[in-house]
Amino acid sequence: MKNKYVSPILENIRNYNFNGDMELAGKYALDYINSVNSMRVYPSDEDIAALSVFDIPLGDEPTPNAEILDKLHNYGSKATVAQTGPRYFGFVCGGILPSSLSAKWLMDAWDQNPAMFVMSPIAGKIEEICEKWLVELLNLPKGTAAGFVSGSSTAINCALLAGRNHILKNLGYNVSAAGLNDAPKIKVVLSEGAHSTVFKALSIIGLGQENLIKVPMDEQGCICADKIPELDKSTLLLLQAGNVNSGGFDDFKSICKKANEAGAWVHVDGAFGLWAAASEEFAHLTEGMEYADSWSMDAHKTLNAPYDNGVVLCKHRDSLVNAMHMTGGYIQITEGNRDSMMYTMEMSRRARALDIWATLMGLGKRGLSELVKELHTKAVYFADELKSIGLSVLNDVVFNQVIVRYEDDEKTKKLIDAIQKSGVLWLGPSSWQGNAVMRVSVCSYKTTYEDIDICVKEIKRLKEQI
Ligand SMILES: *Cc1c(COP(=O)(O)O)cnc(C)c1O
């Protein structure tokens, strides 16, 4: 007798009728979408305490899908942070545009793996289109390659690996084959104000933390161009389009010229700020960044695409592909088509470029440009209103970030604490030139001037209680 075992559990799942539960999921999602503008921005202590309903052992038997959805909706939704609402200004986050959310639902049903073209022609095609569009939108050198990764952290890693290998190759050393142990020294130059993910990436890729040349930043958070040391062809230079506190942009024009002449590799961390290049009015902020060698950015911040959307861009396609590519007996390459795994660390992954495509389609060039403009204009408005209630704004609001202080460290911290507990808005702390500050990041398309008025009124009320 041939064994034809059938699991009763799986047989049930195979015969499952999706209609009811997909409708229920849709209903709950719509409930959330329709209430997120008015819900508490940060969950109440009671709603967080109620998460203890999840503290149960995994049962032996399957749980009905409706019950899973009920539990998520009844307890999970209330313990979310209303990041997709209009009054979340923490970190640098961004909401989710309708075009991307609705398209993502459809694409979740496809569940495509873009590793190779042969695994998903649509995913390969859309990545190719997104690469082309991004290069045009950001005014990057023709032929620049893009890899679609989970976020800037990974994008920075991919770019720095491409840069590291490229530099070592130019020094006559094949690090992919020979490893790092006997490699020539790489000179890493970066701003002391570089994002922490840049320091993390340098440590992951074997360049460490202790032998970096840290250049001071000016009072706006930009690298002091005149303090950058002599560069050469062993140099990896890291610049920034959008300091995470101040939103400041480095002086790419003069620095990239010097770096190009010296044969250094320049990487630009533009997690949220690189999008300035897609707006005629703000493109001056990124002027000259097109002379860099690699760039990293997020689509889940300024662009308001869903999470899990970072992009690595590299002028030297071969250097990125050489650092990322892999081979194997079962790999099936389609000549002339895009095999996405050649551009990222992962082989299997979400076909996430589809999110970016849908988001860009939903905005158009003009919508994207106006999104950048609105975020900036609202950040300036927010800053002015905060000044009018007696708070200090410590940076020039060149993009979407505002650094705010209330007299001293203690009062500033107390104010942040009160704001976070209020449920009316949410923003976080940072430190700036040795002082405690609060940081406002205007990053969602949803925020209106009325929302800012509501926030400023609440901040004023809380400030008066300190
Ligand atoms: C957010 C951010 C990062 C890290 O990006 P993730 O998408 O969170 O990995 C890096 N650099 C800057 C300037 C950022 O704002």
Q: Distance from CA of residue 155 to its chain's centroid?
A: 9
State in Å: Cα 263 to ligand 1 middle: 27
Res. 330 pLDDT band, cuts 50 70 90: confident
* Residue-level pLDDT at 444: 98
pLDDT at position 17 is 87
Nearest atom within ligand 1 for CA of residue 272:
15
DSSP states along 342-408: GSSS-SS---THHHHHHHHHHHHHHHHHHHHHHHHHHHHHHHHHHHHTT-EE-S--SSSEEEEE-SS
pLDDT, position 333: 83
Pocket test for ligand 1, best of 269, 298, 301, 311 (most atoms within 8 A of CB): 298
Ligand 1 neighbourhood includes 235 CB (under 6 angstroms): no
Residue 1 neighbours by CB distance under 10 Å: 3
- Name the strand (E) or helix (H) holding 256: helix 252-262
Ligand 1 atom with the smallest distance to the CA of 298 is 7
Pairing state of beta strands 213-215 and 235-240? Answer: unpaired
| Distance (Å) from CA 197 to ligand 1 centroid | 7
Q: Is the beta carbon of 250 within 6 A of some atom in ligand 1?
A: no
Q: Write out the two tokens for 118.
A: 């042969």
Residue whose pair of structure tokens reads 């700036």 in the numeric block:
432
What pLDDT is recorded for position 83?
97
Q: What is the DSSP letter of 290?
A: G
Q: Is residue 98 within 8 Å of residue 304, measured between CB atoms?
A: no
Cβ of 95 less than 6 Å from ligand 1: no
- How many whole angstroms from 312 Cα to the centroid of ligand 1? 12
Per cent of the chain over pLDDT 90 is 96
Give residue 282's identity as a one-letter amino acid code. F
Which whole number is the average pLDDT over 106-131? Answer: 96
Using a 6 Å cutoff on CB, does residue 195 contact ligand 1? Answer: yes
Residue 335 has pLDDT above 90, yes or no: no
**Number of DSSP helices (H) and strands (E) in the chain, helices first:** 14, 11
C-alpha distances out from residue 186 to 183, 357, 365, Å: 9, 37, 40
Rounded Cα distance, 52 and 59, in Å: 16
Contact present, 185 and 234 (Cβ < 8 Å)? yes
pLDDT at 328 over 90: no
- Using DSSP's 3-state secondary structure scheme, residue 148 falls into strand
Ligand 1 neighbour 191 (Cβ under 6 A): no
pLDDT tens per residue across span 148-193: 999 999 999 999 999 999 999 999 999 999 999 999 999 999 999 9
- With a cut of 90, say whether residue 331 has pLDDT above it: no
Give the residue, out of 148, 160, 197, with the most ligand 1 atoms within 8 A of its beta carbon, to mutate for a pocket test: 197
What is the value of pTM for the model shown?
0.97
Pocket test for ligand 1, best of 269, 308, 345, 399 (most atoms within 8 A of CB): 269
Which atom of ligand 1 lies closest to the CA of 154? 9
Cα–Cα distance between 452 and 54 in angstroms, integer? 36
| Distance from C-alpha of 173 to C-alpha of 145, rounded to nearest angstrom | 24
pLDDT confidence band for 294 (50 / 70 / 90): very high
Q: What phi and psi, each to the nearest 5 degrees, are found at residue 218?
A: -85, -175
Decide if pLDDT at 439 tops 80: yes
Determine whether the shortest distance from the Cβ of 290 to ligand 1 is under 6 A.
no
Q: Are 445 and 405 in contact (CB under 8 A)?
A: no
pLDDT band at 450 (very low <50, low <70, confident <90, very high): very high
Q: How far apart are alpha carbons 401 and 378 in whole angstroms?
A: 10
Q: How far is the CA of 270 from the centre of ligand 1 (A)?
A: 8
Q: For residue 278, how far is its CA from the centre of ligand 1 (angstroms)?
A: 19
Q: Is the CB of 402 under 6 A from ligand 1?
A: no
User: Ligand 1: does its nearest atom lie under 6 Å from the Cβ of 244?
Assistant: yes
| Residue 461, CA distances (Å) to 285, 385, 455, 456, 466 in order | 36, 14, 10, 9, 9
Residue 325 confidence (pLDDT): 85
**CB 152 near ligand 1, within 6 Å:** yes
Cβ-Cβ contacts under 8 Å for 291 (sequence gap 6 or more) = 252, 253, 256, 257, 259, 260, 266
Determine the residue type at 285: L
Whose tokens are 């508490």? That residue is 40
Q: Tell whether ligand 1 has an atom less than 6 A from the beta carbon of residue 158.
A: no
CB environment 175-194: b (16+ within 10 A), e (fewer): beeeeeeebeebbbbbbebb
pLDDT of residue 364: 98
Residue 6 alpha carbon to ligand 1 centre in Å: 47
Give the number of other Cβ atoms within 10 Å of residue 199's Cβ: 17
Q: How far apart are CA 311 and CA 164, in angstroms?
A: 18
Q: How far apart are CA 73 and CA 156, in angstroms?
A: 36
Measured distance CA(437)–CA(255) in Å, rounded: 30
Using CA positions, which residue lies closest to atom 1 of ligand 1? 271
The pLDDT tens digits of the residues spanning 402-423 come to 999 999 999 999 999 999 999 9
pLDDT value for 327: 78
Residue 243 Cα: closest atom of ligand 1: 13
Which atom of ligand 1 is closest in space to residue 195's alpha carbon?
11
Closest CA to 199 of 108, 265, 269: 269
> What are the respective helix, strand and coil percentages of the chain, to the nearest 5?
45, 15, 40
Separation of 60 CA from ligand 1 center, angstroms? 41
Tens digit of pLDDT for each residue in 209-261?
999 999 999 999 999 999 999 999 999 999 999 999 999 999 999 999 999 99
pLDDT at 410: 98
Ligand 1 centre and the CA of 80: distance in Å? 21
Provide the pLDDT for residue 92: 96
User: Mean pLDDT across the chain, nearest whole number?
Assistant: 97
d(CA 438, CA 404): 5
Give the per-residue pLDDT at 313.
Answer: 98
Distance 237 CA to ligand 1 centre (A): 18
- The letter for the amino acid at 202 is L
pLDDT of residue 326: 77
